[in-house]
């Protein structure tokens, strides 16, 4: 008898991390598993893989994707009891993923109907549990569908239906499975998934506790999480070369570093100081010449951030990109040498008229070694929706480089920054330019008083002002903000703006481009 080739009988079952080439298969799988519900967008799954690749898994059987699950890490104590799926996933993009969180939050598990009863779902749950053990997370939390509820909704309330399932008098394919996998019911949330008609939009909030969890003193017993910020109120004066500009910038970076600052913050478009030696009277032509310094500007600040061991909000700079469009861009230069950028989203009439500046389209939140931050350039802080979206994406500090020529313009920035701090329970920082450039068209006068602002409550600085500079003179402001105090006040403060939002009445939607 010929020896059998066993390989032709093999059908491999693999649970592995998700890859970009799996995305189309996962979207097709979701359309089969959840008919009538909106499937993943490609951009959402790409975001999952970019932000938290360890938490995204697929089940591959004989080369075919037959199951998947997605998750992120959060500090669940920071979320409203009435949260929805959109709230906890930042509309499916998981940009609120918190590597320092306590809980793994499962946002989806699916198995192709043709491959059920092969324990695919159980394998995916087990790999999640193993991930929670590896990351030393306190628990796994899931918002589970109750897809059979629509069959009983005429005679049973959601609570009664769940009670019947937990006592094994009724069967629900999701809830019964979760109970079998040692998940415990926490509560029932209404309006969790608006397009989940089978569950009548309800979800059961379930938790699995990691018995191997080891509390770490730096997280579990944390009483303070200070972050030191050095705000530079920068004097605009005529210079003769880029080297003169670099010398001034390095001086202030050195000051920030000597003070042990975590962040040094420069003002909006302070690189227009370079126009003082460009000998170009036309504002639109001068701006195009200014963009030629972009690479030198980026190289300078990248080098300073690393050498002086400080994260730098590099003010903002005019940058020419594709199709000769010019953007006002603020850069984050991390002290590990990495760089991020935030485009100005709202362009003032002045910027359009004199310089022809184009608007950006993306709201960004950046991870740093001091938590998540956002940058909202000058006019952008005057639009409350942006700060609320950034807060929901995890930002705890919003930096606002600004440039205003008169007191009225300055007060718009200041009052709005203070309002954003109160209504979002975040810290806000404004950094402005002072001085004069008499020979530079449209940048001739400046007015500023820079500051660091906090929410208004007992544990924060009086009047909600951590510190402020004197108006209209060159100086620095150095102040400490405490992210642990911020966290506690969100949960236990006199007022709790984030928890007390009326999600039943209003919602802000970020139409990501």
Tens digit of pLDDT at every position of the chain (513 positions): 555 565 655 557 889 999 999 999 999 999 998 888 888 899 999 999 989 999 999 999 888 999 999 999 998 887 776 788 888 888 889 988 988 899 999 999 999 988 877 788 889 999 999 999 999 999 999 988 898 999 999 999 999 999 999 999 999 988 998 898 889 998 898 888 888 889 998 989 999 999 999 886 444 445 678 999 999 999 999 999 999 999 999 999 999 999 999 999 999 999 999 998 987 778 888 889 999 999 999 999 999 999 999 999 999 999 999 888 999 999 999 998 999 999 999 999 988 888 889 999 999 999 999 999 999 999 999 999 999 999 988 899 999 999 999 999 999 999 999 999 999 999 999 999 999 888 777 777 899 999 999 999 998 988 999 999 999 999 999 999 999 899 888 878 899 888 888 877 888 888 765
Phi-psi region of 236 (alpha: psi -120 to 50; beta: other; left: phi over 0): beta
Q: Are 206 and 142 in contact (CB under 8 A)?
A: yes
DSSP 8-state code for residue 197: T
Q: How far apart are CA 60 and CA 503, in angstroms?
A: 39
**Would the CATH topology of 13-209 be identical to that of 227-492?**
no
77-to-74, 121, 364, 488 alpha-carbon distances in Å? 9, 27, 24, 10
In terms of C-beta distances under 8 Å and separation of at least 24 residues, what long-range contacts does 453-458 make, across chains too? 453/417, 453/418, 453/421, 453/427, 453/428, 453/429, 454/421, 454/427, 454/481, 455/421, 455/422, 455/425, 455/426, 455/486, 455/489, 455/493, 456/421, 456/422, 457/489, 457/493, 457/494, 457/495, 458/494
DSSP 8-state code for residue 303: H
**H-state helical runs in 367-501:** 384-392, 407-424, 483-492
Structure tokens at 34: 């959840």
Q: What is the CA radius of gyration of the chain?
A: 26
- Burial of residue 338, with CB atoms counted within 10 A of its CB: 0-12 exposed, 13-18 middle, 19 or more buried: middle
Phi and psi dihedrals of 236, rounded to 5? -85, 115
The residues spanned by each domain of the chain are 13-209, 227-492
Query: What CATH number does domain 227-492 carry, 3.60.110.10, 3.90.226.10, 3.20.20.140, 2.50.20.10?
Result: 3.60.110.10
SS3 content of the chain, % helix, strand, coil (to 5): 35, 25, 40
- Burial of residue 494, with CB atoms counted within 10 A of its CB: 0-12 exposed, 13-18 middle, 19 or more buried: exposed
Query: What CATH number does domain 13-209 carry, 3.40.630.30, 3.90.550.10, 3.40.50.1950, 3.30.420.40?
Result: 3.40.630.30
What residues form DSSP beta bridges with 319?
327
Please identify every residue annotated as catalytic. Answer: 268, 344, 378
Q: How far apart are CA 377 and CA 461, in angstroms?
A: 24
């Amino acid at each position: 008898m010929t020896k059998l080739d066993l390989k032709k009988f093999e059908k491999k079952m693999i649970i592995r991390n998700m890859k970009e080439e799996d995305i189309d298969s996962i979207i097709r799988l979701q359309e089969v598993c959840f008919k009538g519900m909106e499937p993943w967008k490609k951009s959402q799954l790409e975001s999952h893989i970019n932000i938290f690749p360890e938490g995204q898994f697929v089940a591959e059987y004989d080369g075919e994707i037959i199951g998947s699950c997605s998750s992120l890490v959060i500090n669940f104590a920071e979320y409203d009891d009435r949260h929805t799926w959109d709230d906890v996933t930042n509309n499916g993009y998981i940009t609120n993923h918190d590597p320092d969180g306590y809980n793994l939050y499962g946002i989806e598990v699916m198995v192709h109907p043709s491959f059920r009863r092969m324990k695919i779902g159980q394998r995916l749950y087990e790999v999640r549990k193993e991930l929670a053990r590896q990351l030393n997370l306190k628990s796994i939390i899931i918002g589970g569908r109750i897809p059979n509820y629509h069959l009983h909704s005429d005679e049973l309330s959601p609570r009664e239906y769940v009670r019947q399932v937990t006592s094994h008098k009724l069967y629900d394919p999701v809830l019964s499975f979760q109970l079998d996998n040692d998940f415990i019911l926490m509560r029932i949330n209404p309006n969790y998934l608006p397009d989940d008609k089978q569950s009548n939009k309800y979800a059961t909030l379930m938790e699995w506790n990691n018995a191997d969890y080891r509390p770490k003193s730096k997280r579990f017993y944390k009483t303070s999480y200070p972050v030191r910020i050095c705000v530079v109120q920068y004097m605009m004066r005529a210079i003769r070369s880029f080297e003169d500009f670099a010398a001034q910038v390095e001086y202030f970076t050195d000051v920030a570093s000597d003070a042990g600052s975590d962040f040094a913050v420069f003002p909006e478009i302070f690189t227009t100081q370079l126009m003082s030696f460009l000998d170009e009277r036309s504002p639109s032509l001068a701006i195009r010449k200014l963009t030629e310094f972009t690479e030198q500007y980026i190289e300078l600040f990248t080098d300073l951030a690393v050498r002086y061991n400080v994260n730098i909000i590099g003010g903002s700079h005019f940058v020419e990109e594709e199709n000769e469009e010019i953007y006002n861009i603020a850069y984050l230069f991390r002290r590990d040498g990495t760089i991020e950028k935030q485009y100005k989203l709202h362009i003032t009439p002045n910027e359009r008229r004199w310089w022809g500046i184009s608007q950006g389209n993306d709201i960004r939140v950046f991870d740093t070694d001091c938590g998540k931050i956002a940058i909202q350039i000058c006019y952008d802080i005057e639009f409350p929706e942006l700060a609320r979206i950034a807060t929901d994406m995890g930002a705890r500090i919003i930096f606002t480089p600004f440039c205003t020529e008169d007191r009225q313009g300055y007060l718009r920035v200041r009052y709005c920054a203070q309002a954003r701090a109160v209504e979002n329970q975040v810290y806000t920082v404004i950094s402005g330019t002072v001085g004069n450039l008499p020979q530079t068209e449209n940048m001739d006068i400046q007015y500023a008083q820079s500051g660091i602002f906090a929410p208004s409550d007992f544990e924060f600085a009086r009047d909600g002002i951590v510190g402020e500079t004197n108006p209209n003179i060159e100086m620095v402001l150095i102040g400490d903000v405490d992210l642990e105090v911020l966290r506690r006040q969100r949960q236990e403060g006199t007022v709790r703006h984030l928890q007390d939002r009326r999600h039943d009445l209003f919602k802000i939607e970020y139409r990501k481009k």
